[in-house]
């Protein structure tokens, strides 16, 4: 399809095995260490064993320092923090809570749903993600939500009743050096550039016929009717615990 946006730039860098280190320790009381370096052949098998050289040790130290610097930049803002960011937790996998206003988005559906691909209006949304998982909810207003804001079920396929998104075959790969702006952009791209296929948990997230709603929105270009959204038992504060 000509309209699909290439998100490969958000997936990170592909690496192949280049070398391996084996650490040996003597068994006597005054234990000493010895490091052996192996090159890798085209099949990933270790070859050419030799003691770790000074140059190789320097390259290793530089690599470790670079990885440490990348971790320090994870979820940092490129400038002034965007106003739609509600909470950032950089520990472990890192997590971000943010919202988006109602807007028009490109959407894709599997053929058997008989819903045409194209642009449609979606409601305001609340997003909660770490490096590996995404949850989404719907909001009835474009106003910046507060801890007491009531959440609604996200009116999309591929979303569980608790808000967790099934990414299917999408290869999620958030960079360790991703700024908070890159982080949220990547997740929004993963969500809207994948194909919506089916409802999960045997529940209907809206009031009315779900398929007919999206067919109508695709055909008419109307604003998303927030009155069809269903409340769930969560508030924004529940996501911060």
> How confident is the model over 66-88, as pLDDT tens digits?
444 445 678 988 889 899 999 99
169-177: long-range contacts (C-beta < 8 A, 24 or more apart)? 170/194, 171/11, 172/132, 173/10, 173/11, 173/12, 174/10, 174/12, 174/131, 174/132, 175/10, 175/12, 175/70, 176/67, 176/70, 176/71, 176/74, 177/70, 177/73, 177/74
The span from the CA of 196 to the CA of 43, in Å, is: 38
Residue 227: pLDDT over 90: yes
> How confident is the model over 144-183, as pLDDT tens digits?
999 999 999 999 999 999 999 998 878 888 888 889 999 9
Q: Mean pLDDT check: name the lowest of 4-8, 11-15, 43-47.
A: 4-8
**Higher-pLDDT residue of 6, 195:** 195
Of 58, 68, 97, 83, the C-alpha closest to 183 is 97
C-alpha distance from residue 153 to each of 76, 128, 134, 223 (Å): 30, 14, 14, 18
Residue 62: pLDDT over 90: no
**Higher-pLDDT residue of 2, 102:** 102
SS3 of residue 143 by DSSP = coil
Residue 94: pLDDT band with limits 50, 70, 90 = confident
Beta bridge mates, 120: 105
165: left (phi over 0), alpha (psi -120 to 50) or beta: beta
The proportion of the chain whose per-residue pLDDT surpasses 70, expressed as a percent, equals: 85
Over the chain, what is the mean pLDDT? 85
């Amino acid at each position: 399809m000509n309209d699909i946006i290439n998100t490969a730039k958000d997936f990170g860098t592909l690496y192949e095995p280049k070398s391996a280190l084996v650490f040996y320790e003597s068994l006597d009381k005054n234990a000493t260490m010895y490091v052996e370096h192996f090159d890798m052949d085209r099949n990933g098998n270790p070859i050419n064993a030799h003691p770790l050289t000074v140059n190789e040790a320097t390259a290793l130290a530089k690599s470790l320092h670079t990885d440490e610097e990348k971790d320090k930049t994870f979820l940092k803002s490129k400038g002034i923090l965007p106003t739609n960011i509600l909470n950032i937790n950089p520990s472990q996998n890192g997590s971000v809570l943010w919202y988006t206003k109602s807007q028009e988005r490109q959407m894709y559906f599997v053929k058997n749903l008989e819903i045409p691909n194209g642009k449609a209006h979606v409601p305001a949304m609340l997003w909660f993600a770490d490096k590996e998982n995404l949850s989404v909810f719907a909001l009835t207003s474009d106003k910046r939500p507060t801890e007491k804001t009531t959440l609604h079920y996200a009116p999309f396929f591929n979303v569980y009743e608790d808000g967790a998104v099934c990414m299917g075959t999408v290869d999620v790969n958030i960079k360790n050096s991703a700024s908070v702006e890159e982080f949220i952009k990547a997740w929004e791209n993963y969500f809207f550039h994948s194909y919506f296929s089916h409802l999960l948990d045997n529940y209907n997230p809206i009031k009315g016929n779900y398929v007919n709603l999206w067919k109508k929105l695709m055909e008419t270009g109307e604003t998303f009717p927030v009155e069809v959204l269903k409340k769930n038992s969560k508030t924004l504060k529940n996501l911060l615990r």
